[in-house]
Amino acid sequence: MKRRSRSCLFGLILLLALSLCGCGEKEKEPVTITVIHAWGGTGADHVAMRDIYDGFQKENPDIEVQMISMPAREEMLRKVEDMIMVGNMPDVITFSGMGQNTTYDFIVKNNMALDIMPYLKEDKEFAANISRTNLNYWTTDKGQLFTVADVLSLSGGYWYNKDILDAAGVKSLPKSWDAFRGMCYKILKWANEQENEVKPLQTSPEGYLYFMDQMLLEDEENQILWKNQVREVLKQLQGIYAYSASENAEYSYLDETRLFNEGKLAVYVNGVWGASMISENINARYALLPTFSQDAVSCESACLGYVLGNSQNEQKENASVDFLKYMLSEKVQKRILEETEQIPANEHVVLDAYKEAMPRLYQAASLVLGADRKIEVPDNLWPADQKTYFTGNIFRVLTGAMTPEDFQKRLGKMRTTENNSQK
């Protein structure tokens, strides 16, 4: 009888232990989140980003990810707007480097975006993985944070074909705009003498937007000195345009990239991210745009990144935050750098480690990061409609089809309307 009692007692203890153990190891309830992104194209970087996204699903089998892949940012934005209209706010929106826009403003204004700041306060590791640039720009006056970028936008310069500059006798890179025009003149003169097809530059409308910002942002507060300087800057741009030949508003950075890769352009205006788009056959280097002050000025920005839905569903929100943590983790950030040549936002990923493996990207990124002063990229400074008007009409001004006065007046009205709408 004593043996049976002891056996029964042992069985009860074992059953109780298993029961308690089961409670401690209770599996998470499965949850489904919707993620929409603009990496649905066929390019190598698009394929790589989709594979990185798939990795989250593999590491988190308790979270089912419904991935909506769009081929471009504009199409993704329209899809998001359609989903919001029918009350189907995605759990994760990847704005992929867009600047301020009405869709983001609408989401935040209507309490549809999740404030990420409370999660940062609870998780120091997560907070340390978010760039200071992101926090400085996107943290609201109330201390809220509604978007986090997984990469930084580094620009404020141009790529140049060193072989062309050497052949044309350009001995030093220009620090002033007068010297920049002088460089273009020297290249044009050499090209005419050699009777080749090389042009000093053939800048896209977006490139002229970078030129304009560099000329306007002479103060340190990132405030465009709109009233007094725009007309003078437009005249400066006309002087640069004399060495270019593009008059079609449909001409884009893709056309400019192609011509540069064919060895037909000496200067190619783009950000650091352009490194992966340049042919290995081109001896390309990066240089900062000149300034009136001759100070080294560059763009280091965090544009719109991930916005999480304020679904009021704790499971969904936690799963969405887990997705963001995954994208900002050092392991994934290294993959983004190595597989797409985007600059990771996580400051724990040290670029110096890639000096030998990615020399072109390293040279450009180091130059931008080491500049005396930083300004924002146009995407963060220009309202979407104003930027669209600029890129659609700048060639009309540069070719004389529209007066600088009319162009400035129209832009000024759009700016006033935008400022009033934000009050």
5 has pLDDT over 90: no
Beta strands in 261-358 (DSSP E): 265-269, 284-288, 297-301, 306-308, 343-344
State whether 400 and 314 are in the same domain. no
Give DSSP secondary structure letters for 222-242: ----HHHHHHHHHHHHHHHHT
- The predicted-structure confidence for 139-178, as pLDDT tens digits, reads as follows 999 999 999 999 999 999 999 999 999 999 999 999 999 9
State whether 225 and 238 are in the same domain. yes
Q: Are strands 63-69 and 92-94 parallel, antiparallel or unpaired?
A: unpaired
State whether 388 and 274 are in the same domain. yes
Query: Comparing C-alpha atoms, which of 332, 199, 183, 358 is closest to residue 272?
Result: 358
In a domain, 221, yes or no: yes
Query: 143-157, 241-255, 291-305, 348-362 — which is least confidently predicted?
Result: 241-255
Q: What are phi and psi of 145, to 5 degrees?
A: -135, 115
Who's near 317: CB < 8 A, 6+ residues apart?
A: 91, 114, 308, 309, 310, 311
Mean pLDDT of 17-33: 62
In a domain, 19, yes or no: no
Location of structure tokens 């008059």? 247
* Token pair in block for residue 327: 């994208």
pLDDT for 250: 79
Query: Comparing C-alpha atoms, which of 32, 33, 41, 82 is closest to residue 306?
Result: 33
Q: In what order do the strands lie in the sheet with 151-155?
A: 343-344, 151-155, 297-301, 373-375
State whether 256 and 390 are in the same domain. yes
In a domain, 286, yes or no: yes
State whether 90 and 39 are in the same domain. yes
State whether 142 and 288 are in the same domain. no
In a domain, 22, yes or no: no
- Residue at a domain's end among 366, 383, 398: 366
Domain tally, the chain? 2
| CA 328 to chain CA mean position, Å | 15
In a domain, 2, yes or no: no
Is residue 116 very low, low, confident or very high in pLDDT (cuts 50, 70, 90)? Answer: very high
* Token pair in block for residue 191: 């090209």
Per the structure, the complete domain to which residue 217 belongs is given by 155-299+373-422
- The predicted-structure confidence for 225-273, as pLDDT tens digits, reads as follows 555 678 888 989 999 999 987 767 678 888 999 999 999 999 999 999 9
3-state secondary structure of 92: strand
Q: Which residues pair with 265 in a beta bridge?
A: 199
- Residue at a domain's end among 325, 342, 366: 366
State whether 221 and 163 are in the same domain. yes
Answer whether 276's CB lies under 8 Å from 289's CB.
no
CATH number at 46 reads 3.40.190.10
State whether 180 and 326 are in the same domain. no
At how many degrees (to 10) do helices 102-109 and 73-85 cross?
30
DSSP 312: S
In a domain, 204, yes or no: yes
State whether 362 and 317 are in the same domain. yes
Answer whether 157's CB lies under 8 Å from 367's CB.
yes
- Report which residue type is found at 260: F
Query: 82-86, 261-265, 344-348, 380-384 — which is least confidently predicted?
Result: 380-384
State whether 211 and 95 are in the same domain. no
For residues 299 and 282, what is the distance between their CA atoms, to the nearest angstrom?
A: 24
pLDDT for 175: 95
423 has pLDDT over 50: no
Q: Is 195 left (phi over 0), alpha (psi -120 to 50) or beta?
A: left
Answer whether 196's CB lies under 8 Å from 187's CB.
no
Location of structure tokens 């990132």? 222
- Predicted structure pTM score: 0.85
Location of structure tokens 């990239």? 257
In a domain, 4, yes or no: no
Tell me the torsion sign for CA atoms 286, 354, 71, 73: negative
Q: In what order do the strands lie in the sheet with 31-37?
A: 63-69, 31-37, 92-94, 306-308
In a domain, 62, yes or no: yes
Mean pLDDT of 96-122: 90
Task: Report the share of the chain in percent with pLDDT over 90.
Answer: 71
26 has pLDDT over 80: no
**Distances in whole angstroms, Cα of residue 375 to Cα of each of 133, 136, 381:** 11, 13, 9
State whether 40 and 115 are in the same domain. yes
Beta strands in 42-167 (DSSP E): 63-69, 92-94, 151-155, 157-161
State whether 255 and 219 are in the same domain. yes
- Residue at a domain's end among 325, 346, 366: 366
For residues 286 and 368, what is the distance between their CA atoms, to the nearest angstrom?
A: 9
Long-range contacts of 244-247 (CB under 8 A, 24+ apart): 244/199, 244/200, 244/201, 244/202, 244/203, 245/199, 245/202, 246/202, 246/203, 246/204, 246/395, 247/395, 247/398, 247/399
198 has pLDDT over 60: yes
